[in-house]
C-alpha cells in the first residue's frame, strides 16, 4: 500500500501529466494537419473577430439561444465546468504539495469554500447524468463509455472529499483519489474530454463559417 502511494505521488504524477499534455499536443497537431488537407476552405475565410465572438458567447452563462432554452441544463453545465477547474487548481492541499515539490503555488481557496464547490460540482454532475437518462434526444446519443467518463470525472471529487473528511479508510480513499485523478488525466487527450481544448477550436471554426461567410451569429 505504501509503495503504491509513493508511486502515485511520484512517477505516477509525472507520467499522467506527460500523457495529458503530450497527448493533447499530438492530437491537436494531428487534427490540424487533417483539417488543412480536408477542410482547407475554412482557412480561406478566417476572421479572428468572428472566431472570438463565437467562443466568448458560448463561454457566457446563457450566452447562446440554445442554452437560454435549457436554463437548468445551462446552469448545471457551467457550475460543473467552473468547479471542475477551480477545485483542483485552487485547493489548499494541492497547492501545498505543489509548493513542496516545485516551490511555487497558486492562490488557494479556504477548505470550506472548496467543500461547497465540490458539493456543487457533484450536484451539477448528477443533473447532467439525469438529463442523459431522461431526455430521449440525449439518451439516444449517449453510450456506456459516456456514462463511464462522467462517473470517472466525478470520482476524484468524491474520493478526495471522503479522504479529507475521513469517511471510510483514509489511506484507501487517498489512493483511490490519486488513482482516479491520474487515470482521468491520461484519458482526456484520447476521449471526448479533449473538448477542454477542442471546444475553443471548433467554436472558432464555426464562427469563421457562419460569421465570415454567412454574416450569421453562431449564438
Distance CA 87, CA 72 (A): 22
Chain segment 52-77, per-residue pLDDT in tens? 888 888 888 888 888 888 899 999 99
Grid cell of 146 as nine digits: 459516456
68 neighbors 74 (Cβ within 8 angstroms): yes
pLDDT band at 36 (very low <50, low <70, confident <90, very high): confident
Give me the pLDDT at residue 88, please. Answer: 96
Judge whether residue 2 has pLDDT over 80: no
The DSSP code sequence of 99-158 is HHHHS-----B-HHHHHHHHHHHHHHHHHHHHHHHH-HHHHTT--HHHHHHHHHHHHHHH
Grid cell of 89 as nine digits: 487548481
Give me the pLDDT at residue 212, please. Answer: 73
Q: What does pLDDT average to over the chain? A: 91
Which of 62, 49, 67 has its CA nearest to residue 207? 49
Judge whether residue 43 has pLDDT over 80: no
Give me the pLDDT at residue 62, please. Answer: 83
Helices (H), 40-110: 48-59, 65-68, 71-90, 92-102
Q: Which residue has the cell 457550475?
A: 79
Q: Domain-by-domain residue ranges, the chain?
A: 2-213
Judge whether residue 115 has pLDDT over 90: yes
Judge whether residue 44 has pLDDT over 80: no
Largest CA-CA distance found in the chain, in angstroms, rounded? 61
pTM (global) more than 0.85:
yes
Class at the top of the CATH hierarchy for domain 2-213: mainly alpha
Amino acid at each position: 500500500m505504501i509503495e503504491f502511494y509513493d508511486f502515485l505521488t511520484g512517477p505516477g504524477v509525472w507520467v499522467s501529466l506527460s500523457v495529458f499534455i503530450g497527448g493533447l499536443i499530438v492530437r491537436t497537431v494531428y487534427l490540424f494537419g487533417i483539417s488543412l488537407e480536408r477542410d482547407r476552405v475554412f482557412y480561406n475565410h478566417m476572421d479572428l473577430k468572428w472566431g472570438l465572438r463565437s467562443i466568448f458567447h458560448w463561454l457566457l452563462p446563457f450566452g447562446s439561444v440554445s442554452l437560454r432554452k435549457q436554463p437548468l441544463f445551462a446552469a448545471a453545465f457551467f457550475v460543473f465546468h467552473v468547479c471542475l477547474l477551480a477545485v483542483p487548481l485552487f485547493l489548499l492541499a494541492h497547492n501545498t504539495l505543489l509548493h513542496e515539490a516545485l516551490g511555487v503555488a497558486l492562490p488557494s481557496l479556504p477548505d470550506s469554500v472548496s467543500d461547497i464547490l465540490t458539493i456543487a460540482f457533484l450536484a451539477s454532475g448528477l443533473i447532467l447524468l439525469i438529463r442523459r437518462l431522461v431526455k430521449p434526444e440525449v439518451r439516444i446519443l449517449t453510450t456506456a463509455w459516456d456514462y463511464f467518463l462522467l462517473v470517472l470525472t466525478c470520482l476524484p471529487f468524491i474520493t478526495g472529499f471522503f479522504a479529507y473528511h475521513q469517511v471510510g479508510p483514509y489511506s484507501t480513499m487517498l489512493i483511490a483519489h490519486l488513482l482516479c485523478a491520474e487515470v482521468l488525466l491520461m484519458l482526456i487527450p484520447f476521449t471526448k474530454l479533449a473538448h477542454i481544448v477542442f471546444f475553443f477550436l471548433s467554436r472558432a471554426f464555426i464562427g469563421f463559417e457562419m460569421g465570415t461567410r454567412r454574416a450569421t451569429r453562431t449564438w
